[in-house]
Amino acid sequence: MASSLTVQTILDQFLPDEPLDGHRRKVCARLTGCRTARMGGMEMQCDHCKARSVCYYGCRDRHCPQCQGRASQRWSDRQRALLLPVPYFHLVFTLPHTLNGWVQLHPEVLYRCLFQAVWNTLNQFGRNTQHLQGELGMTAVLHTWGQNLSRHVHVHCLIPGGVLTGRGEWHRAKSHYLFPVRALSRRFRGRMVSLLRASSNAGELHRVTNSGEVDDVLNGLMRQEWVVYTRHCLNQAESVVDYLARYTHRIAISNGRLLSMEGDRVSFRYKDYRDQGRLKTQWLEGREFVRRFLMHILPKGFMRIRHFGYLSNRTRRQKLAVIRQCLLQPPQPETNRVNQEPHRCWPCPRCDEGLVHMVRQIPRFRIVAVPTG
């Protein structure tokens, strides 16, 4: 039987006593208020049996496991207009765990450098590889977690298999793995270390205060092998969006992975990739679960889904039109960003004959940050 345990319930029970910063307090307030009277809602009435019920709104916070399903669907609908009839490649760039402490101190700087290092690496390979020599397109998604809620910062990249040249020609990728993984890894390592060193020199890593730590850490990282992983190539264009949507709106843990809460402990299911992806059960103290969950709340306003190259928001309409002309594909109209939802009505669960319609709006309460400490 499926568990009814939710992240919302765990936050209500175990929010830490120590103070949280204002941004995290507001996120927690939205998550704990999701689909409750605090969010407002609709009073519904059946047009047959006249039974009334109340439906509360979701919080729509990007960290909320209850709201990401619909957000993922809306994103997928918009992205279908950007698909090209070519194979797609999925690459994953992982930040060494040595940098986890810096991520805790300066998340915006580390995440920004990571996106920049990944794109600079791939863009350079796309322009310099002999049979390509053009501009790549890329959609990249930042994830900050591992299966057990630990910090594991990595970027998922979905890349169409080809480049747009300066002469407006399409050169398709011929390899089954796009670029050599070992060469990608070393170029990525060098670029990321260079960007971090520049950030330190600019005073952006000012919370790293130990004398000589920046040089010691960066020099040590240059002696390590960094992880870049290339996954299988996708050939069916429609499945590409569904494939990427699994990553774009995924959060640190879904309600479906939660198993039980017993006393002050919480259990959840996870895949152990060091043991051939076997499903296992993790038990954590409730406050430790909350601490790990809060680690993955992104800085306010930080964009974790980004488009690069000929898929960048600024130029993709013009460049995709050129590529489609090369591929003899008819133009695809971009979906309007405004979510056009039909008038909402559902079959009545009580009489099973009528339709349930909204009869009045229920105003939301003012969201107050969850008190801690």
- pLDDT tens per residue across span 326-364: 999 887 666 555 444 555 678 998 998 899 999 999 988
Residue 75, pLDDT > 90, answer no
pLDDT at position 344: 66
Two tokens, residue 22: 């204002």
The mean pLDDT of the chain is 89
Residue 185, pLDDT > 70, answer yes
**Cα torsion through 195, 187, 184, 157, rounded to 10:** 10
Task: Compute the distance between CA of residue 98 and CA of residue 103 in angstroms, rounded to an integer.
Answer: 10
Task: Compute the distance between CA of residue 29 and CA of residue 37 in angstroms, rounded to an integer.
Answer: 13
Residue 106 falls inside a structural domain: yes
Which of the residue ranges 15-19, 56-60, 137-141 would you say has the lowest mean pLDDT?
15-19
Residue 214 falls inside a structural domain: yes
Residue 123 falls inside a structural domain: yes
Q: Residue 1's pLDDT band (boundaries 50, 70, 90)? A: very low
Residue 366, pLDDT > 70, answer no
In three-state secondary structure terms, 370 is: coil
pLDDT at position 18: 67
Q: Residue 291's pLDDT band (boundaries 50, 70, 90)? A: very high
Residue 316, pLDDT > 80, answer yes
The one-letter amino acid at 126: G
In three-state secondary structure terms, 85 is: coil
Residue 233, pLDDT > 90, answer no
Residue labelled with tokens 């039987």: 1
Residue 257 falls inside a structural domain: no
Task: Compute the distance between CA of residue 120 and CA of residue 158 in angstroms, rounded to an integer.
Answer: 15
**Residue 134's domain spans which residues?**
84-252+296-326
Residue 303, pLDDT > 60, answer yes
Number of structural domains, the chain?
1
Q: Average of pLDDT values for 31-39?
A: 92
Q: Average of pLDDT values for 219-239?
A: 84
The one-letter amino acid at 121: T
Query: pTM of the entire structure?
Result: 0.89
Q: Average of pLDDT values for 230-253?
A: 76
pLDDT at position 338: 46
**Inter-CA distances, 137 with 129, 234, 298, 303, 337, Å:** 15, 15, 25, 18, 21
CB count in 10 Å sphere of residue 214? 17
Which letter, b or e, does each residue of 169-206 get, where b requires 16 or more Cβ atoms within 10 Å of its Cβ?
ebbebeeeebbeeeebbbbbbebbbebbeebbeeebbe
Q: Please tell me what DSSP assigns to residue 42.
A: E
Residue 204 falls inside a structural domain: yes
Residue 236 falls inside a structural domain: yes
Edge-to-edge strands, sheet with 88-94: 228-234, 88-94, 151-160, 137-145, 305-309
Residue 29, pLDDT > 80, answer yes
Residue 201 falls inside a structural domain: yes
Residue labelled with tokens 């969006």: 241
Tens digits of per-residue pLDDT, 126-157?
Answer: 999 877 999 999 999 999 999 999 999 999 99
For 154-181, the DSSP string reads EEEEEEESEEE-TTS-EEE--SSSSS-H
Task: Compute the distance between CA of residue 65 and CA of residue 292 in angstroms, rounded to an integer.
Answer: 15
Residue 120 falls inside a structural domain: yes
Residue labelled with tokens 């330190």: 200
